[in-house]
């Protein structure tokens, strides 16, 4: 399962009401580091399918959720569990570090 797009409108249903933990990647088209971690997030999404759902929220198109969760620099990843933010990772990181971060937050 690849990463999925979420929007301000779908955030509650896709993230807050999800039965499994959800990582939200707050990103933008113009963000170089965001594009650098995208392939790693796709691979992690496949490898951890069934354990965690990885989603992407474009902050240029969906500013409400970015403001609500205090996104000031991107990429910013927030892991939600049971509708609550549990862990945050700011900035680009290698795939191994991103994977370890997700696993430690689960």
Residue 78 phi, psi (nearest 5):
-125, 130
Separation of alpha carbons 17 and 41, rounded Å: 21
Please say whether the beta carbons of 91 and 75 come within 8 A.
Answer: yes
Q: Tell me the three state secondary structure of residue 60.
A: coil
Q: Which one of 22, 23, 24, 31 is the catalytic residue?
A: 31
59 as an active site residue: the answer is no
Supply 2's token pair.
């690849």
34 as an active site residue: the answer is yes
Q: Which one of 15, 34, 54, 71 is the catalytic residue?
A: 34
| Residue 18: burial class (beta carbons within 10 Å; 0-12, 13-18, 19+) | middle
Active site residues: 31, 34
């Amino acid at each position: 399962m690849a990463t999925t797009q979420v929007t301000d409108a779908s955030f509650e249903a896709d993230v807050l009401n999800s039965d499994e933990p959800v990582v939200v990647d707050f990103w933008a088209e113009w963000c170089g580091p965001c594009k650098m971690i995208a392939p790693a997030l796709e691979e992690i999404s496949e490898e951890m399918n069934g354990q965690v759902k990885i989603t992407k929220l474009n902050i240029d198109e969906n500013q409400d959720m970015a403001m609500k969760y205090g996104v000031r620099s991107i990429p910013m990843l927030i892991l939600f569990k049971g509708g609550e933010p549990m862990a945050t990772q700011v900035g680009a990181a290698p795939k191994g570090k991103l994977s370890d971060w997700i696993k430690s937050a689960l």
